[in-house]
Amino acid sequence: MVWVSDIIQGILVGGLYALFACGLSLLFGVMKVVNLAHGDLAVVGAYIGIGVIAVTHMPFLWSIPVVCLLMAVLGYVLQRSLIQSALNRGELTTLIVTFGLSIVIENGLQQFFTANTRGIGVGSSLLTASFKLNSQIQIGWLPVIIFVAAVIVLLVLQYFLSASKYGRLIRAVADDREAALLSGVNARHVFGVAAAVAFATVGLAGVAYGMASTVTPFTGTQTILLFAFAAVVIGGLGSLWGTLLGGIVLGVAQEVGAQINISYEQLAGYVIFLAVLVLRPQGLTARRSQS
């Protein structure tokens, strides 16, 4: 029974990992940017949430739209300035620039907010609220809410990319930039919008992480970026639903690993990641990689 409970917990955590991963996946899919600062930006989102709540005393739920909006603006600005000028100079440059950004953000957060762990208080009633499936399996409401939110975000993202006007523009620019430019599309603006959307999901993921757990300035590089990347690789590059599957596999592996021995938690996740890399480099969802 304890295993069933672990698997359910793992699935629920997987939703959060998918939320982290979809921003990474989106930026790579649209502009071939592998954003090494992804995890740190999620932590920035969490800190914005903590700061906004501390200053305005607003209910924690209200902080979510504020964080998403601020992160979207940050994404647009960052894309139009740093990332775009790095993109113009080639792929290695974007890697170096985003890696530099990651280190600068991480150490900057440490200077201003110290290395203490912080969390977003959701109130003890929600943090401990749970329901029972049977006498042995107890599931917290907060992980369920985060999982549902992640699935909704993926659905909205899927709809946005496939059916909305901007989604079509984004896909057009991603598929063939020159052709899109010839048709009069302002590719830079479209890239900016895509980055804004990706950053909004990153911000949401950061806030969700801050609620479910705690963050330090180093959470971004030590866990979030690596988990997001592992979820992307396990699920298969360039597929949103593959990302959810990848997140779930990663989450289940971690929970089961932790059940065997608490020190195996993260290692188990990475072992699965490496196994997928060896046995099935195209990811679990059998689509051909789009890179």
Residues engaged in binding another protein (CB under 8 A): 28, 32-34, 36, 82, 85-86, 89, 91-97, 99-101, 103-104, 107-108, 110-111, 218, 221-222, 225-226, 229-230, 233, 237, 263, 266-267, 270-271, 273-274, 277-278, 281, 291
Closest CB 1 distance from another protein, rounded Å: 28
DSSP state of 287: P
Query: Which region, left, alpha or beta, applies to residue 236 given φ > 0 means left and ψ of -120 to 50 means alpha?
Result: left
Is 91 or 175 the residue whose CB approaches another protein more closely?
91
Element of type H or E holding 136: none
Nearer to another protein, 29 or 49 (CB): 29
Rounded to a whole number of angstroms, the minimum distance from the CB of residue 199 to another protein is: 18
Q: Which two tokens stand for residue 242?
A: 């593959």
Provide, rounded to whole angstroms, the least separation between the CB of residue 104 and another protein: 4
What is d(CA 231, CA 34) in angstroms, rounded to the nearest whole number?
14
**Distance in Å, CB of 53 to another protein, minimum:** 26
By beta-carbon proximity to another protein, the closer residue of 60 and 227 is 227
Nearest residue (CB) to another protein, 92 versus 163: 92
Residue the block writes with tokens 């930006």: 41
- Cα separation, 246 vs 43, in Å, equals 21
Shortest distance, CB of residue 265 to another protein, whole angstroms? Answer: 9
Show the beta-strand stretches assigned E in 141-230.
none
CB atoms within 10 A of CB 159: 11
Q: Any bridge partners for residue 215, and if so which? A: 118
Nearest CB to another protein, comparing residues 172 and 267? 267
What tokens does 92 get? Answer: 């290695």
**CA–CA distance, 54 with 216 (Å, rounded to integer):** 17
Considering the complex, state which of residue 59 and residue 281 has its C-beta at the smaller distance from another protein: 281
Supply the minimum distance, in Å, between the C-beta of residue 283 and another protein.
Answer: 11
d(C-alpha 265, C-alpha 258), whole Å: 4
